[in-house]
Structure 1
Amino acid sequence: MSHDGVRPSATRRAAAFLLAGALTVSALSACSSDEKENRPLAGQDIAPAGRALVADGGTLRWAVDAVPATLNTFQADADAATSRVAGAVLPSLFRLDARGRPQPNPAYLESAKVVDTEPRQVVLYRLDQQAVWSDGREIGAADFAAQWRALSGKDSAYWTARNAGYDRIAKIERGHDDLEVKVTFARPYADWKSLFTPLYPKEVMGTPDAFNDGARSKLKVTAGPFALKKVDREDGKVTLVRSTRWWGSPAKLDKIVLRAVPRDERLDALAENKVDLAEVDPDDAERIAAAHGTKTTAASQAAAGAEREKAEKAEKAEKAAKKEKEEKDKKKDEKKGDEDAAEAAARRKALRRYVVRSSLEPAYTQLALNGSEGPLADERVRRAVARALDRTKLAELVLKPLGLPAVPVGSHLALAGQPAYEDNSGALGGQDTKGARALLADAGWILGGPVEKQAKDKKDKKGKDEDGDEAGEKDTAGSKGEKSEDDDGTYIVGEDDKPGEAEGAGDHGGDGRSEERAARSADGKQYLGEPGAARHGGAPGAYAPMGTAAPARAADTVMAKDGKALSLRFVLPSGPGSASLRAVGDRIARMLRKVGIRTTITKVPDDSYFKDHIASGEYDLALYSWPATAFPATDARPVYAKPVPGADGELKVEQNYTRVGTDRIDQLFDEALVTLDAGKERELMRKADSRIWAGAASIPLYQRPQLTAARPRLVNVGAFGFRTPVYEDMGYQERTPSSASTSSVPSATSS
């Protein structure tokens, strides 16, 4: 997951991408006139070129997060690199177009359609007569049947991560000839186009041993424009070579080498000429743009830099102090300065070999609210949190500095441009401070109400308090440090930084700390708000002679109930590449402060973010991303399904990490899944989306930026947007006299 969105595993979703807004439109119907208004906010940026303009040969070295643990996309530990390999070497019966719609892949299909609905749904696939596996065997019904049996869920010996759709198939048989495959469904299935992409040979799917272990590190039989040559885990590379048995348009490249390069090492790998193509984070994109003499990839580098600098300020402080100490010696400082200057110049020169291609990724970042316990178990509090947010400002924070459309996402189930997209955020309402406070008041939270004095935590040497909780995870009512940071990366966002500070203003003022005003009255209770704000009955608020101006901080008084301040645990990832996400988290915390909600922000390592916090429910607020899908009825259902107790009494949440759902939402998904009317299916999904919005457990914020550093002469590859990559068309542009004189990029690079 780049960490402007950290995201959950996508193995159980038919993701359009895999691993940080959408257009607000009027109500959509099935008619084409409305669909014309629903366009992707940003097109793909891949330097498109006709095949005649692409040179034959060359190697593309493509950065991935890691060498895939498995080459079987249907296993739980499959990742983005797994999908990338499968896309290049295995059949994909359907590919997504620029609007995220599934289209038949002509390399494998002559046609695919529903030919019967009564008494059962029947889909007939007509295969391309040249479609064969790399061993010469024709692709046919035996392969379809083996994949169905492996993924149907009927045989527990197969270690499958998902079986959606395959569990609805009754039988698979040969059609009129070997080119036809007839699939009969036991139950209607609207998303039948999601099946058999990718399609594995029967040699992989035929037995549990072959499925579980045989395809983890090798694929002896393939059927794509490329074939798998080697998976080298020690050297961190996967090598794909042009297939000699491919019947379609020949691959332009000789080789594609997927090289494992962690996100925080991408810029070094580019500068050191180790890769030709790499997804990069906004900071790295800015550095590449700066090497070309521009301020940023598009707009203002200063605006983006200021926000990220603020988010990184605390963690950089220690490094800055250490560096200052090391540079005290003048001679060493001068020598080091000369070396650094020379190194920086060389680095800038090296980075000028690349350009940044940008679009919007088919994924969105959301604010998740854990509704299983605590204040957020009350829907009114969740809705108040949502009404406190200015989603447009959050989208602008991330996307505007990159020159990308900064429009909030209006749907949980589709993105702008996809046929099912409709902005249903109106079911929850927009930013409304007064409305948010009214919802909190209705839930019993009093503005500036009494707060019982909290005992000071006593931590042991392991950083645990007396109750065994993690250090820093504490109630802070009455504490003096408004934004105090502990050794574990926890800091508190309380009332306000300084009197009258507007939301979104610069840093937190001075050293980043300010005093939280607290007052005691004769009744011995503590009150949050201005000094002297003791309550003696009546409406909450400071009492003063008529005409006296309200204190500047009165609007930021914390809500309280039953002697406790309204404080939420906000968990964020701490790893490299997460700066934008943390900046968004900081801005959200300030927005919540305006309605009286305090947040305790805890930064945790990326590798434990989902396992130890999101999946286990150890959070109140969190930011992570979900991929878009062409099949929301299938893929999004486990994300929003109502949690139910399992046989062992434990709550079964599937992928619904917010733990909020309703029977009606489940019913709408179920109805959408069985209708074969595409228009009706979209309408059911829009109704479900409206109800998901109303539940206020997940708040879509913005579509994630997709930034890819590429050699200028690389074509048909880059920021793909919704569209499925076409691997056989990727390559280096043919040299022309003009390009040869202006470009120093070689036509091919060696691995």
Structure 2
Amino acid sequence: MKPSRRGAGLVALAAATALVLTACGGGGGSGTAGDVTGGAPPAAGNDMNPVAYDQVRDGGDFFWSIDSLPPQYNYNQLDGTERNNKDIIDSMVPEIMKGDAQSVYQIDPDYLESAELTSTDPQVVTYKLNPKAKWNSGRPIDWTDFDAQYKALNGSNPAYVVSGTTGYDVIQSVTQGATPQEVVVTYSSKFADWKGNFLPLYPRETNSDPKVFNEGWISQPLNDQTAGPFKLESVDATAKRITVVRNEKWWGQPAKLDRIVYVALDQAAQADAFANGSLSFLTIGPSVATFQRAQQVPDTVIRKANGPNYRHITFNGAPGSILEDPKLRLAIMKGIDRNVITQSQIGPIVPGAKPLGNHLYVEGQEGYEDHSGVVAFDPEKAKSELDALGWTLQGNVRAKDGKQLVIRDVIPTGTPVSEAEARIVQQQLAAIGVQVTIDSVPSDNFFEQFVNVGNFDITHFAWLSTPSPISSSSGIYRLVDGTVGQNYGRIGNQKINDLLVQANAELDPVKQRVIVNEIDTELWNIGHSLLTYQRPDAVAVKPNVVNFGAKGFADYNYTLIGFAK
């Protein structure tokens, strides 16, 4: 879904439906906490109606809702890190490791026989590829694909417009091991979240040419450069549909579904489409109206799970922007009641829900600490701080040096959650003399023409997280001259940059969590962004849909999705 995004590992979601903290069901994976990833342990499973492969009906079409067709199918390119794209390419492009229900990466045996940390000084990771794994072109997947991706994403060549360089910028070399299917990755410095690298993996044919990297995947996925259980059948830009079908060149267990049809619909239209049978599921996320509508659809079950994703308000602090001053951002944040937003948006879905207090960990992950006290709702304090900054009330709106304190809230059209949040913020800030102008823009280019380029004062969307929360978040919070990455608000400092480097290099998960919480404290202190709430992972489906639903921290196995016999 569109208005959501993933930081160099994280996906951004502008739309309203995605994931959050709710009741859970179903089983989890087999991973263990505290491994070298430093990843977060402890989610409580997922709820996907798990059924054994031989109990899934062979065949059928699955209609999967997205908010719009992606502007870019190369997930590693800046415009490609959207939820819509993630859902699509995961059926076709190698994810050599997949997150389990405990938010721990496990190797995918269709692509890897093993992936091991074979040395810590220097850090060396050795991958052994499944010898059956081939691109649809017929070429075996080998070490050259890893080498090309590392060189494209390490930041050394500005011709590659990448979503982030974290993890690749500390690789010293990628070489062949005993065979072309053994990949030896040597790091120049320690990198704890190495399991999050090369996800997804694109072929050297994409990564060796900046033009192909940036432009080759814009109109559609390149079928000969994919390698998954499905392949592209068609992209219908008029009907706003993309269809993938079983891949006859796939070497693993065949997918149960005949095809998956990704249907682009505004959020407001998705509930009715599910009710009339045009969609195979309905993502509820934090929409109370959608939750209530789903409850009215006959023969429907609602699946829920803990999830790692969250809503937030990004502030634009770029030089020259009205919110450049961190003291002004913090004063305004104190005028926004996050509890009201949380309860109005997800209270009926998640009883007892409260605002999120950490930029890098969500509740349910080990290491989570709430450092949001610095922006606790206090309208009187907000008013006094604004007065002290010279923004004095003149009529109903504050002004300074002849300029009114008017901020532009850019949101995507057709996204009820963003609209509701924006109205609440508008009303609350009016009470402290800050005027908010809501600017609804087309969801099709919400990121490309507005968020990515800083064409906003504040904006709302969701970040979709990964089992490697530190490295995947680095691009959101790092600020380096000339490089924005996914730090769309252009807010940061050298202290945060240095701490991110330390956290990514710390192999001891206990020590890493201490550093991460230092980062979060500083992010709150500079008014980087205002977190609102974890998004509920709530999905409505028919009872016969199996191996699909509220996946929580896990990744889907696309060969298992289908319908019960």
Query: Do these two structures clear the TM 0.5 threshold for a shared fold by scoring above it?
Result: yes
Q: SS of the residue aligned with 2:223?
A: coil
Matched, 1:406 2:410: no
**Residue range with higher mean Cα deviation, 689-698 or 382-391:** 382-391
**Among candidates 630, 638, 641, match of residue 475 of structure 2:** 638
Shift in CA distance, 601/359, structure 1 to aligned 2, threshold 3 Å: farther
**Among candidates 685, 696, 718, match of residue 549 of structure 2:** 718
- Is the 8 Å Cα contact of residues 112 and 123 (structure 1) preserved in structure 2? yes
- Is the 8 Å Cα contact of residues 367 and 513 (structure 2) preserved in structure 1? yes
Match of 1:220 in 2: 224
- Is the 8 Å Cα contact of residues 410 and 438 (structure 2) preserved in structure 1? yes
Q: C-alpha separation between the residues in 1 aligned to 2:533 and 2:105?
A: 24
Please list the CA deviations of residues 477-510 of structure 1 after superposition, one character each: whole Å capped at 9, or x if unmatched.
3xxxxxxxxxxxxxxxx5xxxxxxxxxxxxxxxx
- Is the 8 Å Cα contact of residues 16 and 629 (structure 1) preserved in structure 2? no
1:94 maps to amino acid: M
Match of 1:287 in 2: 293
Scaled by the length of structure 1, the TM-score of the pair is 0.64
How far does residue 276 in structure 1 lie from its aligned partner after superposition? 1.8
Shift in CA distance, 589/48, structure 1 to aligned 2, threshold 3 Å: same
Please list the CA deviations of residues 530-579 of structure 1 after superposition, one character each: whole Å capped at 9, or x if unmatched.
xxxxxxxxxxxxxxxxxxxxxxxxxxxx77767887x442414262232x
Shift in CA distance, 625/684, structure 1 to aligned 2, threshold 3 Å: same
Query: Which aligned pairs between 1:181-580 and structure 2 lie closer than 5 A?
Result: 181-208=183-210, 211=213, 215=217, 216-279=220-283, 282-291=288-297, 352=298, 354-359=300-305, 362-371=308-317, 372=319, 376-403=323-350, 406-426=353-373, 428=374, 430-443=376-389, 451=394, 477=395, 494=396, 567-573=405-411, 575-578=413-416, 580=417
Q: SS of the residue aligned with 2:334?
A: helix
Q: C-alpha separation between the residues in 2 aligned to 1:248 and 1:117?
A: 33
**Among candidates 73, 87, 92, match of residue 90 of structure 2:** 87
Query: Which aligned pairs between 1:563-642 and structure 2 lie closer than 5 A?
Result: 567-573=405-411, 575-578=413-416, 580-594=417-431, 596-607=432-443, 614-615=451-452, 617=454, 619-642=456-479
How far does residue 130 in structure 1 lie from its aligned partner after superposition? 4.1
Q: SS of the residue aligned with 1:145?
A: helix
How far does residue 158 in structure 1 lie from its aligned partner after superposition? 5.0
Matched, 1:112 2:115: yes
Match of 2:25 in 1: none
Q: SS of the residue aligned with 2:95?
A: coil
- Is the 8 Å Cα contact of residues 42 and 103 (structure 2) preserved in structure 1? no
**Residue range with higher mean Cα deviation, 368-377 or 664-673:** 368-377
How far does residue 361 in structure 1 lie from its aligned partner after superposition? 5.3
Q: SS of the residue aligned with 2:409?
A: strand
Unaligned runs of 5+ in 1: 24-29, 292-351, 452-476, 478-493, 495-557, 647-651, 735-751
Please list the CA deviations of residues 375-424 of structure 1 after superposition, one character each: whole Å capped at 9, or x if unmatched.
74444443333333332232111111224552211111122233453322
- Is the 8 Å Cα contact of residues 310 and 464 (structure 2) preserved in structure 1? yes
Q: SS of the residue aligned with 1:71?
A: coil
Q: C-alpha separation between the residues in 1 aligned to 2:419 and 2:14?
A: 23
Match of 2:124 in 1: 122
Q: C-alpha separation between the residues in 1 aligned to 2:506 and 2:232?
A: 39
Shift in CA distance, 642/77, structure 1 to aligned 2, threshold 3 Å: closer
Match of 1:521 in 2: none
Shift in CA distance, 123/367, structure 1 to aligned 2, threshold 3 Å: same
How far does residue 604 in structure 1 lie from its aligned partner after superposition? 2.4
How far does residue 687 in structure 1 lie from its aligned partner after superposition? 0.7
How far does residue 440 in structure 1 lie from its aligned partner after superposition? 3.9
Shift in CA distance, 429/213, structure 1 to aligned 2, threshold 3 Å: closer
Unaligned runs of 5+ in 2: 23-32
How far does residue 643 in structure 1 lie from its aligned partner after superposition? 6.1
Matched, 1:15 2:11: yes
1:387 maps to amino acid: K
**Among candidates 131, 150, 166, match of residue 133 of structure 2:** 131
1:15 maps to amino acid: V
How far does residue 592 in structure 1 lie from its aligned partner after superposition? 3.7
Shift in CA distance, 260/678, structure 1 to aligned 2, threshold 3 Å: same
Match of 1:56 in 2: 58
Q: C-alpha separation between the residues in 1 aligned to 2:358 and 2:376?
A: 14
How far does residue 728 in structure 1 lie from its aligned partner after superposition? 1.2
Instruction: Report which structure shows greater RCO (CA 8 Å, sep ≥6).
Output: 2
Q: C-alpha separation between the residues in 2 aligned to 1:161 and 1:367?
A: 20
Matched, 1:148 2:94: no
- Is the 8 Å Cα contact of residues 153 and 168 (structure 2) preserved in structure 1? yes
Matched, 1:71 2:73: yes
How far does residue 684 in structure 1 lie from its aligned partner after superposition? 1.6
Percent identity over paired residues: 32
Matched, 1:669 2:500: yes
Match of 2:539 in 1: 708
Q: C-alpha separation between the residues in 2 aligned to 1:691 and 1:370?
A: 17
Q: C-alpha separation between the residues in 2 aligned to 1:437 and 1:686?
A: 29
Q: C-alpha separation between the residues in 1 aligned to 2:131 and 2:448?
A: 46
- Is the 8 Å Cα contact of residues 474 and 500 (structure 2) preserved in structure 1? yes
Please list the CA deviations of residues 55-109 of structure 1 after superposition, one character each: whole Å capped at 9, or x if unmatched.
2222212222334444322233324343223212232121112243323223322
**Residue range with higher mean Cα deviation, 131-140 or 674-683:** 131-140
Q: Number of matched residues? A: 543
Q: SS of the residue aligned with 2:79?
A: coil
- Is the 8 Å Cα contact of residues 375 and 524 (structure 2) preserved in structure 1? no
- Is the 8 Å Cα contact of residues 46 and 720 (structure 1) preserved in structure 2? yes
Q: C-alpha separation between the residues in 1 aligned to 2:159 and 2:320?
A: 37
**Residue range with higher mean Cα deviation, 399-408 or 275-284:** 275-284
Q: SS of the residue aligned with 1:396?
A: helix
What's the C-alpha RMSD, in Å, of the aligned pairs? 3.7
1:585 maps to amino acid: A
Q: SS of the residue aligned with 2:235?
A: strand
Q: C-alpha separation between the residues in 2 aligned to 1:603 and 1:672?
A: 37
Match of 2:171 in 1: 169
- Is the 8 Å Cα contact of residues 412 and 418 (structure 2) preserved in structure 1? no
How far does residue 289 in structure 1 lie from its aligned partner after superposition? 2.0
Q: SS of the residue aligned with 2:62?
A: strand
